[in-house]
Amino acid sequence: MPTVVVWGTMGYMKDARAMTIRLASEQAEELDLVAAVDNQPIAEVIRAAIAEHIANRKQDADFQDGLRQRIERAQRMLGR
């Protein structure tokens, strides 16, 4: 499988972290094509997709319930 490396070193990104993801060849080729057609760097296409995914998850009721449960467990563990 190809590896796509997203380097978070652009000047506008404070506290950026470099991450590596592994994609199937077909998915990597599709990502290359989307980035080329949109005239965007692959890393920017990935960042936009992640931002959209996170925004969608935040609106999901099941996700919100799971998040609340984790917060409650962490607070119990801390004795609050």
The CA-based diameter of the chain, rounded to the nearest angstrom, is: 53
**How sure is the predictor about 5, in pLDDT bands with cuts at 50, 70 and 90?**
low
- Whole-angstrom Cα distance, residue 50 to residue 56? 10
What is the spatial distance between Cα 79 and Cα 65, in angstroms, rounded to a whole number? 21
Q: Which two tokens stand for residue 12?
A: 């506008």
In this predicted model, what pLDDT tens digit does every residue of 16-57 receive, in sequence order?
Answer: 899 999 999 999 999 999 999 999 999 999 999 999 999 999
Residue 22: how many CA atoms within 13 Å on its side-chain side?
Answer: 1
Q: Give the other-Cβ count within 10 Å of 71's Cβ.
A: 10
